[in-house]
Structure 1
């Protein structure tokens, strides 16, 4: 049975948000391109097609509080889950395969007083209203950025534009130039908190005038604390970034 790409994989609430986008030539092009890739060899595509829209499935429109934009899924075997930055819990934090971006996210959380991540699985963030959205939802194994030109941009841009129009007071974490390129779309909405820094991966974490971690790694950009304070100020419950930490910090 061949893998299929269909709008039916997108939850109804997100389909409604996207409106008549599915009648557009942009959607038809994406649908055609993805199906061609899957027909060629679905085993080289990550995440598995059933997980392309996991971020939307775990985080309904009405529950979104925070949006973290990634670029495309991990292209190494065994990592991509359909959630930006998230990896399976069984991958040890001291493993060589544990991504540097997650390692630095964990450092930032610890510096902000939340404690370090116990593992790299961020499903619990999604269930609390953190939309972990990549700007391309698929990739070919071993080839970073390989699916960015298949048409994902039109879908993600439309989703961002529609989301900010429907939901005021969201928090957006834009790490790195690629995520920050979506700023004009986000600014079309009302009351959005935009937090920007360098990308948390590799040495880039310390670069730019707004580093994710300050050189020396002893000060964080403070995004997780700022996000929770914003949510509290707008009568929303803060995110429990690491088990059992937000209550003490924000009660």
Structure 2
């Protein structure tokens, strides 16, 4: 039976969380999540070994940009432990390719970076882009189904700890779930906070800060602004689009 423990979290992230593991919040999360796994682990996505993949691929000291998602994809074959990311082998023109990724690709093209060759954002994670969902698991076919299991306390501690420990980060907050974490981020030093509507579906055009302008005539400019900020603070910009296979870049 799949299990879930503190040891699944990398040591550097454990250190960032401090005494969180002694709290009732951690006990509540582990108890609720293990109960869900005990009922039917085949219905939980991603697999438990992938719950903390974002933290494993992006160590604390390498974080430069944080993109907050809501929860993992609840459609079979998509969730892989990175916010917004899907397996490389899913064609960009298939119905399985999420609308959020289509619109992210449109924004990148409008900003001059080109379109994503596929939906696997592994290369972003390896460059210091933390792709973190606000809940790290979901039940197949039920969006938001694990948002009440106790993930909130863990993610809130990760966000606040990161903002306090790492100055000059870029935060991309797309939609209400991500923007609900604003107070934790603002407690940090000199953070660039970029906000817009969520890139999925028709919501991409809504709010007074749309991710894409109606008709996809322009983007919110977040990817360009992020690189400008990083360079301003002596860091390299992110290679948002590369023609090389994602895994080959860091093999």
TM-score by length of 2: 0.96
Q: Hey, what's the Cα distance between the residues in 2 that align with 1:35 and 1:177?
A: 28
> Are residue 56 (structure 1) and residue 55 (structure 2) matched?
yes
1:191 corresponds in structure 2 to 190
Q: Distance in 2 between matches of 1:145 and 1:164?
A: 25
Q: Provide structure 2 residue ranges, at least 5 long, that are not aligned to the other structure.
A: 245-251
Partners of 1:39 and 1:145 in 2: CA distance: 19
Aligned mates of 1:244, 1:85 — CA distance in 2:
19
Per the alignment, do residues 41 and 244 of structure 1 end up closer, same or farther by CA in structure 2, a change over 3 Å counting?
A: closer
Q: Measure how far apart 1:244 and its partner are.
A: 6.4
Give the Cα–Cα distance (whole angstroms) in 2 for the partners of residues 165 and 177 of structure 1.
22
Q: How does 1:71-90 map to 2 (within 5 A)?
A: 71-90=70-89
Query: 1:94-147 deviations in whole A, cap 9, x for unaligned?
Result: 000100000000000000000000000000000000000000000000000000
TM-superposed deviation, 1:8: 0.2
Structure 2 CA distance for aligned equivalents of residues 104 and 10 of structure 1: 31
The aligned counterpart of 1:31 is: 30
Equivalent residue, structure 1, for 2:101? 102
Deviation per CA, 1:160-214, whole angstroms, max 9, x where unpaired? 0111110000000000011101001100101000000000000000000000000
Matched, 1:133 2:148: no
Residues in 1 aligned to 2:196 and 2:163: alpha-carbon distance in whole angstroms: 21
Look up the SS of the partner of 1:76 in the other structure: coil
TM-score, scaled relative to structure 1? 0.96
- Secondary structure in structure 2 of the residue aligned to 1:216: helix
Instruction: Write out aligned runs for 1:182-221 (5 A).
Output: 182-221=181-220
Partner of 1:16: 15
Q: How many residue pairs get matched?
A: 244
Partner of 1:249: none
CA contact (8 A) 2:117 2:243 kept: no
Counterpart residue number, 2:234: 235
Deviations 1:26-74 (A, max 9, x none): 0000010010011111000000000000000000000000000000000
Gaps of 5+ in 1: 246-251
The Cα RMSD (Å) is: 0.9
Report SS of the residue matched to 2:132: strand
Shift of the alpha carbon at 1:218?
1.2
2:66 is the alignment partner of 1:67: yes
- Per the alignment, residue 249 of structure 2 pairs with none
Matched, 1:115 2:117: no
Moved over 4 A (4+): none
Aligned mates of 1:229, 1:135 — CA distance in 2: 26
Q: In the alignment, is the contact (CA less than 8 A) between 2:17 and 2:161 conserved in 1?
A: yes
Q: Secondary structure at the match of 1:148?
A: coil
> What secondary structure does 1:173 align onto?
strand
